[in-house]
Amino acid sequence: MITHADLIKLKAIVGEQFASTGESVLNLHSHDESYHAHTLPDAVVWPHSTDEVSRIAHYAFERKIPVTGWGAGTSLEGNPIPVNHGIVVDFQEMQKVLAVRPEDFQVDVEAGVIYKELNKMLSRQGLFFPPDPGAAATIGGMIGNNASGIRTVKYGATKDHIARLVVVLPGGDVIRIGNRARKSSSGYDLIHLFAGAEGTLGLVTEATLRLVGLPAHFLALRVTFPEIRNATDTVFQVMSSGFSPAAMEFLDANVIALLNRDRNITMEEMPTLLLEFTGFSDEGLRAEMASIEEICRDNCSTSIDKGIGRTERDRLWEMRHLTFESIKRQNPGLLPLIVDIAVPLSRYSDMAAYIKREVRDLLAYVFGHAGDGNIHVIIMDTPSNSVRWATVEEINRRIVEKALEFEGTCTGEHGVGIGKRGFLQVEHGDSLELMKRIKKLIDPEGLLNPGKIFL
């Protein structure tokens, strides 16, 4: 519990209006987008600089107050929920783009920058930051969760696009890690330690991000199949034939039916693949299109809607981008449990078939970033009905355990947060102990985002 004196001290660091214990502020920072129980922090602060974050961390360390970083609160596993109360450090006031270096394909940003805004700005220079989690996430939150999305199949996840970080450690020390070279063999890879640490090791205040050139030519296809296995086998064959899709998404017939209802459109309600390719010329993409169509037909596709160019890509993909919102809108009063697993590509079809069997009696929507083996299931139900919710959680558990049996992971992109802590022992075995020792070394008092990742 923080005292009045603590609040005065925090206000002295960040400024009178940038520290609050107001009820609505605490409420806003008590939950993310998941079903996990809300917990109020004791105070929220909005620092403006690395120095202020460092002084907050120092003060909290002296007073043994928990500190949790906050980006936009769009996590799906309870990652930023301050389960031990304390101070939430919201990065909203740190939204500066510090430098753009097109010649190096790099940008320096503060942690609170929203990646969609960043990409809007970068597009004027023909560049973009590829990880695309869909929601209006911040760079700090994306680094925290090592977020990825529909472009990961081609470009990788957030951690693959970080060159340098400025991190405030528990106690307030500031470290700068990484360099601006395109490659390096220099020492331990601390960037990959902090990326995906969910703010449990340090607070990221600045980052140098790696960018790529914006593609100019697009090919998109929307393909339907009689059975899920036809669609998921196609994913494997497209990848193993040497193609490099910019995005490849799977949606089951339930998702398509729901999108039809929500958008008043009429897509065939069958297992569907959405594919996007980018290239140097429309001619090259046309040749690619013929080969992709052949693979789809070999897998018994029932319809292929396709097009070349940005407008066609937008037409064919538009309905994918707001899937989560459509599912919530069409199921008022229910809350989502979002399953997020990833498996080796060779097991994608088996995994999808297993999931469909498990969720057959539930209100469930199966889709995913198929090109990188990631599957989501959104199960809509009522957490307040403990009997029903126990069934939902049990099915989530069985699906995750099957993914681990297939040598996959309990979380492809949403992070461990609260919801996946129980699976880490099985997934990591002895190396979980090493992770705990690293946490203890960097944060001996357990003050940074406590209650996450580890049980």
Ligand X SMILES: Cc1cc2nc3c(=O)[nH]c(=O)nc-3n(C[C@H](O)[C@H](O)[C@H](O)COP(=O)(O)OP(=O)(O)OC[C@H]3O[C@@H](n4cnc5c(N)ncnc54)[C@H](O)[C@@H]3O)c2cc1C
Segment contacting ligand X by CB under 6 A, of 70-78, 226-234, 252-260, 296-304: 70-78
What is the rounded distance in angstroms from the CA atom of residue 289 to the CA atom of residue 307?
Answer: 9
**Position 419 contacts ligand X (CB under 6 A):** no
One of 69, 86, 130, 178 touching ligand X (CB under 6 A): 69
Segment contacting ligand X by CB under 6 A, of 66-74, 116-124, 245-253, 286-294: 66-74
Contacts with 86 (C-beta within 8 Å, 6 or more apart), sequence order: 2, 41, 42, 43, 60, 65, 66, 67, 68, 447
One of 39, 54, 106, 138 touching ligand X (CB under 6 A): 138
Tokens standing for residue 204: 């990221």
Bridge partners of residue 212, in order along the sequence: 128
What is the rounded distance in angstroms from the CA atom of residue 135 to the CA atom of residue 96?
Answer: 20
**Position 449 contacts ligand X (CB under 6 A):** yes
Tokens standing for residue 304: 């292929």
Among 118, 193, 125, 195, CA closest to 161: 195
**Which SS3 state, helix, strand or coil, does residue 131 take?**
coil
**Position 178 contacts ligand X (CB under 6 A):** no
The residue among 87 and 289 lying less far from ligand X, judged by its C-beta, is 87
Segment contacting ligand X by CB under 6 A, of 9-17, 122-130, 146-154, 269-277: 146-154
**Position 147 contacts ligand X (CB under 6 A):** yes
**Position 198 contacts ligand X (CB under 6 A):** yes
One of 233, 276, 413, 427 touching ligand X (CB under 6 A): 413
The size of the chain, in residues, is: 455
One of 33, 206, 276, 427 touching ligand X (CB under 6 A): 33
Which helix (H) or strand (E) element contains residue 109? strand 106-110
* CA–CA distances in Å: residue 83 to residues 33, 69, 111, 427: 15, 12, 22, 24
Nearest distance, CB of residue 396 and ligand X, angstroms:
17
Nearest distance, CB of residue 358 and ligand X, angstroms:
22
The residue among 70 and 348 lying less far from ligand X, judged by its C-beta, is 70
Bridge partners of residue 107, in order along the sequence: 100, 209
Region of residue 386 (left: phi > 0; alpha: psi -120 to 50; beta: else): alpha
Binding site for ligand X (CB under 6 A): 32-33, 68-76, 79-80, 91, 111, 133-135, 137-138, 140-142, 144-145, 147-149, 198-199, 203-204, 324, 413-414, 449
